[in-house]
Structures are given as C-alpha cells and as structure tokens.
Structure 1
C-alpha cells in the first residue's frame, strides 16, 4: 500500500498532464459544430475548382435568409388587420340619446309630432353611424382594407368606410342634412356629438396571432434537386442558382451525416484528430522544452490559451462566419513568445490553426493566412515593453492579412470584382484588438504567477521601493548587485539566455543582507569586523540566513517566483568556506559541513547558473591586489572550476561551451573594470 501511494505521489505530475490532455480534447470537441464536414470548399463569385458535381441524393433547395426575410416583410405589408366592433358601446350611446333628448327639446316651440319626427331622425342618424362604426383613432391605419369583427364574425371592408372620431362633426352635419333636419338645428347636432363614442379599435392580439400563423406557414424550401442531377460544372462561377444548390447540399449533408446512427463515429473522428494535434504538442514540450513540460502551471497555461482561441473562433463562426477574421488569433504566439520563446509560440500557433481548420469556412485560405500571420508575429515582435514595437508589429501583421486575402481573391476570381472589401475592415479591427495583448499579459501574470519582459523592466527600476531600501541600508551590497547585474547581463547576451531576467535576478539576489548589513564585508566602512567576536558557526549562520531572509522579503513584496529563484540558488549548496576553514583551524579537525553549507537548491537554468558565476567572481575580485591579465584569467578559471567540481551546474542545462563563453565575458569585463588609466603629466 505504501509503495502504491509512493508511486502515485511521484507520478502525480504526469497524471495531471493526462487529465489536462483528455479534458482539453473533450472541451475542444464539444465546441466543434455538431455536423458532418462537407468535403468541398466554395465561395460566392469564385470558380468551382473541382470536377462536375452531381447530386448524391434527393434534396430540397433551401431559401436563403434574405429570401425568407423578404417573404416575411411581404406578409407584413399585405396583412389585413383585425378591428373589433364594440356593440355594448353602441347600446350606451342609444341609451344616452333617449335620456338627454328631452333636455335639449323640452317641447316648447315644436309640436309633439315634430318632436317625435326629430327623435326618429336622430335614431336614424345613430343607426347610420353605428352600422359602420366609429374608429377611435388610437392607432394609425395599417392598410386600406380591414377585417371588422362583429358578434364573433369578421367582415372584410374598406378602412375608409368606417367613420373617424376626429371627423365626426362634419359627418353628423352631412347626415342631418341628408335626413332633412334644418341647418339651424345646432342643438340637435351638439346632442349627437355629445353622446357619440368610438366603438371600433385595433385588435392587436388577434392581428398578431394571425400574422404569426401566416409567417409559420412560409416554406423554407423552393424546388427539389433529384439524385444524379448536375449541380455545378468544373470552372463554373459559383453564384445564383448553383450557389443556392451547393449551400442546400452542404446543409443537407451535415444534417444527414450527423445522425443518431453515426453520431459516435463522427465524434470519434474529431476526437482522434484533436488528440493527434495535442499529443504532438506534449511530445514537442517533452523533447525540446523539458523545463516547460515538467512545470504543470506552464503546461496548463498553454492548453488554456489554445482552448480560449478555439472557443472564441467557434463562437464567432456560429454567430456570423463572415466575422471569422476579427478573432485576434495572433495574440496566441504573442503571449507565448512573451512568456516562453519564439519556437514554442509558433509551434502552438500552427497546431491551434490546424484544429480551427475543422471549424472555419474556406479552411485552406484561413490556415494559410493565419500561419503566415503567426510567422510574421514571431519574427517581428520583440521587446514588447517598448510601446512602439507592439504598434509596428501589429501594423505588419494587419498588412500581411490584407495582402494575403487580396492575393487569394485575385487567384480565385481573376479580377477585383469579387473582393469583399468589408473584410479589410475586419482585418483592421483584428489589429486593434491585438493591441489589447498588453493588459492581457498583465492578467495572465496575476493568474498564473508568470513574468513577462514588461514586469522585468518595472522590477529593474532601481528607484523601486525594495531596491531603494537596499541602497539606503546596505549601500555596499547595492553597488555589488549593480556590478553583478552588469556582468551577468553581458554573459547572458553572449550565450542567448534571457538577459533581462538575469539582470533583475542579480539586482534582487542579495536583498536579505539588509537585516544585518554590517556582517557583510562590502558594507563595513571601518576596520571593526563584528565576526571577530563570534564563533565561526554563528557567523556562518548569519551569512547563510541572508538567503532565507531574502526569500521572505521578496515574497512580502510580491516579487515573482522566477526572481525569487535567483535569491534561492545564487549560492547553491556551496560552503561558507572562510568560516569553515576558521572552525577547522580552531578545532584541529573538520567540523560538520551542515553548519557551513547553504541550503540550496543548485541553479536549475542557464540564467541562475550565470548569476552564481558572476556573483562569486565579482565578490571575490575585491580581494585582488594589483590585478593583471594573467591573474584575472587564472582567478576566474579557479572560481568557476571549484563550482563545477562541487556539482553546482549539473541541473542548469548549460553546456561546457556556454560556461567557457561566460568565463570569457567575465574576464573581459573584469579587465575593463581594473584597467589602469594612463597617468597624465601635471
């Protein structure tokens, strides 16, 4: 059981990679469109580049979205709206007429017969008004004809045959004259105007329901293509009827292939292809980037960025495939080059583009343009912390997109007639979005604890809080750190290591000396050495402790782990030899080395190895008296040979040739530092 747990513990990093690998495959396949892949690529207005295509099965020609929208709009224009006739409102008007008539005509001046005739004439006018109805005027007229719903029966009639409330005064005047009522009977007309109420209004619910019924009945297809019928001939321009047939065949093919019977076959095909792409990535990391492969955070970071790009592209394609070039895919190599290196960035970019080839339309054109743009990104982008460099690189990337797309259209169409000019705007928008890589890099630094050149540039500022405190409390150590930074940076440039990272690591590697600055010789301004009063073991503990205290200070100040690595490894597991020798002379025998040895670990990268060499050489060079070229040469060789014999560089992946180059740079720099000036005569 214990052996099994031990094996599991030692294999947990590999188990995590397996889990991440399969999780990424599942997520990518999930994002893929749920349909079979149509094996032909075509574009509107471009010649058909394959052999004559015949219908493999019967299928219907689907209407385009524009055609369906035109039919919907035509239905909306031709729709006859429904208006509701309120019979209860008409009864209320008649009731009001009978109640108010005696108030207007009390019986004086007119005979009973005349009043009776007048009452009958008023009823006749109301009958005329409410036979057609009075429109309330609340909604604008929707058409010339309407359905008037009365007593649950709809009758089609002209809209202008319904009386309007806003023209009722003129209508009543015309009706009173038509029945023979004298023009001087103004009181009678006022009575009719007072009691008249609208009783016809638009029935929006019924009108909308009827429109929905009509729209739902629109056919999505028009005509059929029989099996074996010619769809498009070789060299024929894909447009008009042939374009509609091809689009219908593609949609039908996807829906027929992606069925319940073969769902798992297609799914397994997608899974195998994506798995092959991702296994290539893992093999590349294991073979050529073992430091990245061993770091699960970095592997997760790479897979996460691939997933983000796949998700964005598939989302845009599902929304509107015409916007596919708006997705800033070149952000991927930009970010990976920033945190890793150019070769890894390009390799991951190419693999991601291959995956997206299953998703995008015109996959060959898309893959070609994206790979070319990715290569340009890798070749042009450098020193992102310089703002102008990013703008220049993005401009070059956008230009490559435009030129590549332009060339494809000339090749396929033979002219400029079929160029979709709006795509150039999409390329410009792509470039503008790519500029947001700077804040994205900052977010990734916080999420994954990684360090970019921009952050390194900020950390290299000697006016930062921590370095300012170092210069105040331990000025000798601060000057030593500056000298080491210059030496290490020069050496890193010679062997192709990360010079900016080495410089920043050198500036911070001795910050732990701030707690006890006078115990370190570079900060002692008098001949009074506090170590003279201490036992060698205690002095060694104070010297060794500056590494641990430096790590703690850096963590409190949120210094990135990659910089803390330099603090942790700049002495490796070497001995504090001076005090070890002093203890041996005191006791007459070898003391316990554990009391005099740094805790380590040893350097595990080229950069940390360079810092160890530069730090030791610069510190020891202070003891040189009247140095010469031969003395400096022998001095540097001796120090670095001692470190190599102690096995300090075994994990650093630095070659003998690179160590010799570092030694050469250190010798040259020390020679320049100690070179005597020519004495000028007074």
Structure 2
C-alpha cells in the first residue's frame, strides 16, 4: 500500500494532467449540439459532388422557411377580429336622443319639418349602430373579417370597414344629410350626436389571438412525401430549389433519426473520441516541443481553460443566434498564448480550437478557413504586445482579413455581390474591437494564474520602481553594473531572436542580492578599505556566492515573478569564485572546490545564458588596462570559451552559432564603451 501511495505521489503531475484532459473532453462534448451530422455537403445552385443519392427511407418534404412565413402572414391577414358588444348602449343612446332632440333644434320649426328631422336623426343612429361604434382607433386593414360577440356568443359577421370609428361620426352625419338635402342642419346634428353617441364595441385581443393561434396550429409543415428508393439527385446535377428543399428535409429527418435513444451513446462516444484526439494532439505538442510548459501544471491548466472558454462562449452565441458567431473574438486566443508562451504554441492551440468549433458552428468549412487565416495573421503581425500601437494595427489587419475572406466566399457561393449581407461586416468590426479586450484579460490572467507577460516585464523594467530605487541607493555601483548588463543583454537577445524584454528585466534584477552586503562587492567600494582583507578566502567566497540566495529571498519578498527570479538563480550557474579559490589554493594544498562554487542551477534558456555571458564580460571588463580592439576581442572570447568549457550552457537551448553572434555584439558594444578619446589641450 505504501509503495502504491509513493508511486501516486511520484506521478501526481501526470495524474493531474490526465484528469484535466478527461474533464475538458467531457465538458466540450457536453456543449456539442445534440444531433447527428449529415454526411453530405450541398449548396443551392451548386453541382452535387457525391454519388447518386436515393432516398434511404420514407420521409416528408418539409416546407421552406419562406413558405411557412408566407402561410403565417396569410393567416394573420385573414384572421377574424373579435369585438365585444355592449347591447345596453344603443337603447340608452336612443333614449337620450329622444330627450335632447328638442333642445338641439329651435321651437320655431314647422311640425312637419321637425318630424322629418327627427326621422333623419333616427336613420343616422341606425347607421351608427348597424354594426357598432368602436371605443378607440385601431390600425387594422379595412378588409379584415370581424365577428361581434354578445355575451361570448357570435351575433354578427362583417368586415372592419363596417364598424364606425370615432373620426367617422361627422362624415356619416354629413353624408346622410346631404342625401336628404338637409345640409343646413349639420351643425345641429353634430352638436346633438356629440353628446349622445357612445361606443358600444370593445376589441377582444385575447379572443382574437386565441383564434389566430388555432389557425396557426393547423399549418402543415410538410408538403408531400418521398418514398424509399426514389432518386433524389444524380452526381454532377445542379441543386435547384426543389431538390435543395428535399435534401434539407432528408438532412433534418436523418439527424433526428440518428440521434435516437438507441444510438445516443454511440454518437456521444464518437464525439468524445474526436475531441479527445484533438486535445491529445495539443498535449503531445507540449510534451515534445514545449517540455517546460508541459511540466508546469498551472500552464497546462491555463491552456486548456482558454480552449474550453472559447468553445463555451461560441456555443452560447450560436444557441442565441448563429448570425452573431463572428462577433466572438477567437483571435484573442493566439494573442494570449503568444503573450505568455510563444507564437508556435499560440498558432497550434488556435488551430485545435477552431477544428473543435467546426462541430458547433454553421457553415463550418467557411468558418474554419476564416478563423485559421485570421489566427495566422495575428501570429505573424503582432510583436511586442506591450506596445499599444501594435495591437491596434493587428486588430485592423484581422478585421480586414475577415472582410476579404468573407467577400470571396460569398462570391463563390452566390456568383455575384447583389445579395451580399453587409450586416456581416459590422460583426467583423465588432469582433476586431472585442480583440482589444486582450489587454485587461492578460492582466487578469497574470493575477489568477501567476503568469508573466511582456506587459508586466515592461512595468518591471522601470528603473523608478521601488526595488531598483532601493538598489541604486544601497549599492549604486551594482545598479550601474546592472544597467550596463541590461543594455548588453537586450542587444544580444535582439541579435539572436530571443526575448529582449525578458533578458533586460532579468539583467536589471540579477544582482539585487548584493544589497544585503554591498561593500563586500568591489563596484560599491568607494574607499581604499576592503572588508575582505579581514576575512578568510572561504568566508569571502561564502559572502560572494551568498548574494544569489539573498537575491532570491529579496525577489520573493517583493513578489517578483519566477521568470525573473530564474535569472537571479542562474546568472553564475555553477561557476567558481576564481579569485578567492586561487588565493586559497596558494595557501593550502587540499582545497574543496565546492566551497568556492555558486549553488546553480546552470542557465536553462537562451535569455538566462545571455545574461551569464553579458554579466561576466561586463564585470571583468573593468579590469582591462589600455583596452584596444584586439584586447577586447581576445578578452570576450576567453571569458565565454571558459564558460562553454565549464559546461554552463549545456541545459540552455542555445547554439554555437548564436553564441558567436552574441560574442560579436559584446565585442562591438565594449569597443564603443572603451573607445579612445583625443587628448584635449589645457
């Protein structure tokens, strides 16, 4: 049992990666659409590229979305409008009319005229209440059918034009009076009916919508059937509208039949295989080409988390409305990976993510082509992400690539630009703008995952930072030495294509451990007194080598990132404090070399190897007397060759060719630093 536990402990890193791999796979598969995939690709107006297709089973031909929409519009236009009748209103109105008629007309009228006018008034009222008077104005088509309900029972049918609207009262009065030749009394009648006429119809919205819904439910979503074995389309035949609808119907029926309970587990298993295969390729890439990333569980978790996050966000958008799928800024992914790792890893992870998204998005080939091309452009164009202008330029290029590629695809599909959807260009622009969110996202990731990007390195390179100010106050000579080394390291890194910003920052902080005992280092000794004169060689060597451990402790107290602390650990590797070692050797025969050696480890990256070379050359260059170009060349060659012989660069992925390039830079820089000046006359 104890052996088993020990074995688990030894392999806990691999076990964690396995669990992370499984969890990510299952989560991604869970997000996938719950349907099978039709095995044929087809487009309207394009030749059928597959074999002759016969109907594999009986299926109904579904109506197109346009046909369904037209039927719904027709039903809506012809649906009955229901109005509720208040049958007490007409009786009340006629009663009031009888009472107020005499007050509306003068008593001087002849009785026959008065009787005639009274009958005309009754005719007007009959016209008003033949169907009814509306309580308010409604924006319905005049030809819409209506039904009048009296106590929920249909009393009368007609059309909306039959109903009297509030603004039609005056015109009806004038029409009847003109017909009777009594237009001189229109003011009297208008005044009378203004007070008397009341609406008796109210629109019943709920009853109308219920009837409309009942008609909608009667819509048949299929038109005709295709029998099993019927020829659907032959190879090379152009897909016309009818065939396209039949193929869409077959696709829908096929996917619904495939995703049945009996086949659910098999299809789920197939999805799991494909997703796990893609994620396995990502893990194998890390294992083979980015071993330092693979060994760091936090970094592996970070990579898998971002892949899953992009798939999750895209799934949400597609489920909401697939037309917004290009708004998701997928190009943030390679930007983030490039900021924290490198371009090659960023592009590989981006391609894997886009391949997985092909299962989710519509028009998957077009989508994958656009996103992969955009990702490649992102990787090729964005350098020095900490410079804001570079990010804006890259966003402009990404947006342009989206627009150009979509434009080309549309012409291929449609043959012209007459029906192009210009709205898509808005989504591409929004996607580009959303890519700018990468800056705050990088900052958040740095805090959450403890990673370091070039943006943070730029902040750390500020010589006004608290720690570097403390170094300049306590150990001014060391601070000046660090600035010189930083300039040399940056130039050397640029020469061989290494991370110049990382090399510079590492150089600025590599000697902060000297703040603990600054006067024990010669660059900080401003007087002729040397404290090493009172110490033994071993004690002096212990203080000198101790600045590495002291530097690591100071860096951790000040929350410097591990990438910077690595420079403090490795800038002397396992080299020997040669001066005190030889001094001890002169005094004693039996000397243990480890007492005079730095604790290591040796440099394990190009940047840390560059720092070791630049640090040694800059420090030793102070001892040059009467420097000449020949002396400087021999001096640089001698120091770096000794480091190579000592095996200091065995763990760093740096080539001899790159070391030669660094030597060349150092010789050139030192020659400029120690150039001779003419002697000015007094």
Per-residue displacement from partner, 1:379-435 (whole Å, max 9, x unpaired)? 44433344554455555555555555566666677x546884645665555545445
1:272-287 alignment to 2 at 5 Å?
272-287=273-288
Match of 1:238 in 2: 239
Per-residue displacement from partner, 1:154-173 (whole Å, max 9, x unpaired)? 12123444444555577689
Using the size of structure 1 for normalisation, the TM-score is: 0.82
Match of 1:661 in 2: 660
Match of 2:135 in 1: 136
- Whole-angstrom distance in 2 between the partners of 1:679 and 1:68: 94
1:424-439 alignment to 2 at 5 Å?
430-439=431-440
Match of 2:309 in 1: 308
Match of 2:285, SS state, is: helix
Alpha-carbon spacing, 1:378–1:125, altered in 2? closer, same or farther (3 Å): closer
Match of 1:212, SS state, is: helix
- Whole-angstrom distance in 1 between the partners of 2:217 and 2:617: 85
Match of 1:33 in 2: 33
Greater CA drift, 265-274 or 233-242: 233-242
Let me know the Cα RMSD of the aligned residues.
4.7
- Whole-angstrom distance in 2 between the partners of 1:349 and 1:11: 29
Alpha-carbon spacing, 1:109–1:440, altered in 2? closer, same or farther (3 Å): closer
Alpha-carbon spacing, 1:641–1:120, altered in 2? closer, same or farther (3 Å): closer
Measured after TM superposition, the shift of residue 85 of structure 1 is: 0.6
- Whole-angstrom distance in 1 between the partners of 2:558 and 2:416: 60
Using the size of structure 2 for normalisation, the TM-score is: 0.82
Match of 2:56 in 1: 56
Match of 1:441 in 2: 442
- Whole-angstrom distance in 2 between the partners of 1:255 and 1:79: 33
Match of 1:337 in 2: 338
Match of 2:294 in 1: 293
Greater CA drift, 479-488 or 227-236: 227-236
- Whole-angstrom distance in 2 between the partners of 1:456 and 1:185: 90
Match of 2:35, SS state, is: coil
Alpha-carbon spacing, 1:490–1:118, altered in 2? closer, same or farther (3 Å): closer
Greater CA drift, 170-179 or 392-401: 170-179
Alpha-carbon spacing, 1:367–1:117, altered in 2? closer, same or farther (3 Å): closer
Match of 1:227, SS state, is: coil
Match of 1:569 in 2: 570
- Whole-angstrom distance in 1 between the partners of 2:174 and 2:673: 119
Alpha-carbon spacing, 1:61–1:474, altered in 2? closer, same or farther (3 Å): same
Contact kept in structure 1, 2:636 and 2:667, CA below 8 Å: no
- Whole-angstrom distance in 2 between the partners of 1:199 and 1:255: 53
1:175-254 alignment to 2 at 5 Å?
194=195, 196-254=197-255
Match of 1:134, SS state, is: coil
Alpha-carbon spacing, 1:191–1:643, altered in 2? closer, same or farther (3 Å): same
Match of 1:9 in 2: 9
Match of 1:87 in 2: 87
- Whole-angstrom distance in 2 between the partners of 1:116 and 1:378: 96
Per-residue displacement from partner, 1:131-187 (whole Å, max 9, x unpaired)? 6433212534554442110132112123444444555577689999999x9x99999
1:73 matched to 2:73? The reply is yes
Match of 2:353 in 1: 352
Match of 1:284, SS state, is: helix
Measured after TM superposition, the shift of residue 239 of structure 1 is: 3.7
Per-residue displacement from partner, 1:284-335 (whole Å, max 9, x unpaired)? 2111211111011221222222223333444444445455555443433333
Measured after TM superposition, the shift of residue 253 of structure 1 is: 1.4
Contact kept in structure 1, 2:21 and 2:279, CA below 8 Å: yes
Contact kept in structure 1, 2:101 and 2:192, CA below 8 Å: no
Greater CA drift, 563-572 or 371-380: 371-380
Measured after TM superposition, the shift of residue 57 of structure 1 is: 1.8
Match of 2:262, SS state, is: coil
Alpha-carbon spacing, 1:103–1:6, altered in 2? closer, same or farther (3 Å): farther
Match of 2:261 in 1: 260
Alpha-carbon spacing, 1:426–1:49, altered in 2? closer, same or farther (3 Å): farther
Greater CA drift, 465-474 or 168-177: 168-177
Measured after TM superposition, the shift of residue 42 of structure 1 is: 1.9
Contact kept in structure 2, 1:477 and 1:510, CA below 8 Å: yes
Measured after TM superposition, the shift of residue 194 of structure 1 is: 4.0
Alpha-carbon spacing, 1:194–1:529, altered in 2? closer, same or farther (3 Å): same
Match of 2:472 in 1: 471
Alpha-carbon spacing, 1:201–1:592, altered in 2? closer, same or farther (3 Å): same
Contact kept in structure 2, 1:381 and 1:389, CA below 8 Å: yes
Contact kept in structure 2, 1:637 and 1:663, CA below 8 Å: no
- Whole-angstrom distance in 1 between the partners of 2:77 and 2:520: 93
- Whole-angstrom distance in 2 between the partners of 1:78 and 1:130: 24
1:138-177 alignment to 2 at 5 Å?
138-144=137-143, 145-154=145-154, 155-165=156-166, 168=169
Alpha-carbon spacing, 1:153–1:233, altered in 2? closer, same or farther (3 Å): same
- Whole-angstrom distance in 2 between the partners of 1:444 and 1:517: 37
Contact kept in structure 2, 1:406 and 1:419, CA below 8 Å: no
Contact kept in structure 1, 2:488 and 2:666, CA below 8 Å: no
Contact kept in structure 2, 1:274 and 1:355, CA below 8 Å: yes
Greater CA drift, 200-209 or 366-375: 366-375
Per-residue displacement from partner, 1:87-132 (whole Å, max 9, x unpaired)? 355566678789x789979xx999xxxx999999999997886564
Contact kept in structure 2, 1:491 and 1:661, CA below 8 Å: no
- Whole-angstrom distance in 2 between the partners of 1:178 and 1:280: 91
Alpha-carbon spacing, 1:548–1:157, altered in 2? closer, same or farther (3 Å): same
Contact kept in structure 1, 2:632 and 2:671, CA below 8 Å: no
Match of 1:604, SS state, is: coil
Measured after TM superposition, the shift of residue 561 of structure 1 is: 2.8
Match of 1:222, SS state, is: strand
Alpha-carbon spacing, 1:523–1:174, altered in 2? closer, same or farther (3 Å): same
Match of 1:481 in 2: 482
Greater CA drift, 434-443 or 403-412: 403-412
Contact kept in structure 2, 1:384 and 1:453, CA below 8 Å: yes
Contact kept in structure 2, 1:48 and 1:236, CA below 8 Å: yes
Contact kept in structure 1, 2:632 and 2:667, CA below 8 Å: no
1:577-616 alignment to 2 at 5 Å?
601-616=601-616
- Whole-angstrom distance in 2 between the partners of 1:49 and 1:364: 16
Alpha-carbon spacing, 1:193–1:417, altered in 2? closer, same or farther (3 Å): closer
- Whole-angstrom distance in 1 between the partners of 2:400 and 2:117: 89
Per-residue displacement from partner, 1:641-675 (whole Å, max 9, x unpaired)? 7767877555x334673685377348625762675
- Whole-angstrom distance in 2 between the partners of 1:337 and 1:185: 86
**What are the ranges of 5 or more consecutive residues in structure 1 without an aligned counterpart?**
none
- Whole-angstrom distance in 1 between the partners of 2:100 and 2:372: 91
Contact kept in structure 2, 1:583 and 1:591, CA below 8 Å: no
Alpha-carbon spacing, 1:44–1:463, altered in 2? closer, same or farther (3 Å): farther
Contact kept in structure 1, 2:336 and 2:442, CA below 8 Å: yes
Measured after TM superposition, the shift of residue 262 of structure 1 is: 0.3
Alpha-carbon spacing, 1:153–1:142, altered in 2? closer, same or farther (3 Å): farther
- Whole-angstrom distance in 2 between the partners of 1:218 and 1:598: 85
Contact kept in structure 2, 1:495 and 1:658, CA below 8 Å: no
- Whole-angstrom distance in 2 between the partners of 1:332 and 1:552: 35
